[in-house]
Amino acid sequence: MRNGIYKKKLDDLLAVCRKNLRTVNEDLIRRAFEFSLEAHKNDMRASGDPFFNHPYEVAMVVAKEIPLDDVSVASALLHDVAEDTDYEIKDIRQEFGDTIAEIVDGATKISDIFRSHEVTQAESYRKMLLSMVNDIRVMLLKFADRLHNMRTLEYLSREKQVRMAKETLDIYAPFAHRFGLAKIKWELEDLAFKYIHPAEYDEIAHKLKSRRKERETYIKKFIKPVEDRLRAEKMTFEIEGRPKHLYSIYNKMMNRNKQLDEIYDLFAVRVILDTENDNDCFTVYGIISSIYLPIPERFKNYISVPKKNGYQSIHATLVGPDGKMVEVQIRTRAMHEIAENGVAAHWRYKENITTLDEELENWISWVREIFEHADEERAALAHPQLGPHQQHDAAEADDEAGELARAETLAVTAQPFDTRHPERRHGHQHRRQPARQRLFGPDDATVAEPDEEQAQPRQRGACPAGQGACRASQRR
């Protein structure tokens, strides 16, 4: 080991791997660590830090936030070697074998796609999917790579910041959503929002921070009688306030033409049950709705009919104390793990590797099919002219098929940024401009959002793609 600093880094990485992975080949991780450190020894990042810090942090993201396996961690350590050093894929293959070489090669090909500056075209989406279709770990590695790059975006020029933020919002966040990686998706969206619309980001963040104590006090008031009843029913549970993400709040302000104070579901609560009986979630909903008045049209049952990315939960809105509406999610611990980590949770907890491989293959096929048919779905959209950043709030819409088409189409029809004025887009007028000017003041960088309140709710229990399709994508 080069010195004590890098020895500690390796020790820390191995400790995280031991904690989060089912099995760990520590020799593999050590060899990949040393190989990457040697390959990048003369490289520096824009921040002035050694370049090796980047693949190391990407490996930590994989081990901590998308815990898959030791092969994924080793691949993360090596993912920039063929792209940025004198080493080639054949060298990685010779040292680490075919699997890691193919994962690194797939990640490199995706990077090449972005360098082509054609990422807003449907064909680029297809190329991305095809490049990772043989191993889902390629795409999961790219999520970790992009997440660390976004966390360190401050060191780049304004033009590069906006370009990368736009790519993230248009491409990586939709992919993360499709793979069920909610935590990754939220952070990617908020970081992209921060650089695309810094003034609006700062304003919303400041207002939320100034009212944090007020919100926390209200949530405690809402939770107290619910906790008492659940304890009386001998349930084991966790209940807490759920943070609302800045990009989601911004979209709702634009969608609904409302000020921050008027967005009712800033108050949000999540109940996580330690039970293997899914019906306990409905019992809890019954208890909560006996305490607070429910709003029937805001009830969504994603337990009986899960989303195709594996997401399961009850969503409900109730009228809490002082007449304020509170958004409530109810799910089991296993559902929560899937909601937060998606496909990675399947990878971590499945005991039958053969069944797991089949499910991951089905998951890839489903995501691939969405993007392959994006052109056909776009033709049916009512608003094909909308801008690039409106896809994600619609992810909660009841019509799953329509929502998928909206999300992906709005990304591929994005207008380019003016590189001289990164905050400005060309090509068309956005229909929410008056609302934006009223809420945040005049600004050229307007964003149009599909109005989620105009979405037509589907009949409860109905799967827009057909029951067979839903069941096929949900095999555990």
Distances (CA, A) of 316 to 233, 255, 261, 266, 299: 21, 20, 21, 14, 4
Residue 329's nearest CA partner among 290, 301, 306 is 301
Distances (CA, A) of 234 to 225, 280, 289: 14, 12, 18
For residues 293-302, one letter each, b for 16 or more C-beta atoms within 10 angstroms of the residue's C-beta and e for the rest, the string is: ebeeeebbbb
- What is the Cα 467 distance to its own chain's centre? 26
Residue 440's nearest CA partner among 253, 255, 166 is 253
As given in the structure block, the two tokens for residue 13 are 């990485």
Angstrom distance (rounded) from CA 189 to CA 392: 9
Angstrom distance (rounded) from CA 217 to CA 29: 46
* Residue count (the chain): 476
Angstrom distance (rounded) from CA 341 to CA 219: 26
Q: Say if CB 372 and CB 365 are below 8 A apart.
A: no
Please list the active-site residues.
83-84
Backbone angles phi, psi at 302, to 5 degrees: -90, 10
Angstrom distance (rounded) from CA 77 to CA 66: 14
Residue 36's nearest CA partner among 48, 25, 51 is 51
**Three-state secondary structure call for residue 335:** helix
Distances (CA, A) of 390 to 122, 387, 450: 17, 7, 7
Angstrom distance (rounded) from CA 283 to CA 332: 12
Q: What is the largest CA-CA distance in the chain?
A: 67
Q: What is the DSSP letter of 151?
A: H
What is the dihedral angle through the alpha carbons of 178, 179, 181, 182, rounded to the nearest 10 degrees? 20
Angstrom distance (rounded) from CA 139 to CA 468: 27
Exposed/middle/buried for 132, CB within 10 Å: 0-12, 13-18, 19+? buried
The one-letter code for the residue type at 158 is R
Q: Quickly tell me which residue has 């929410």 as its tokens.
A: 432
Angstrom distance (rounded) from CA 457 to CA 447: 25
Q: Quickly tell me which residue has 């933020």 as its tokens.
A: 165
Q: Say if CB 359 and CB 475 are below 8 A apart.
A: yes
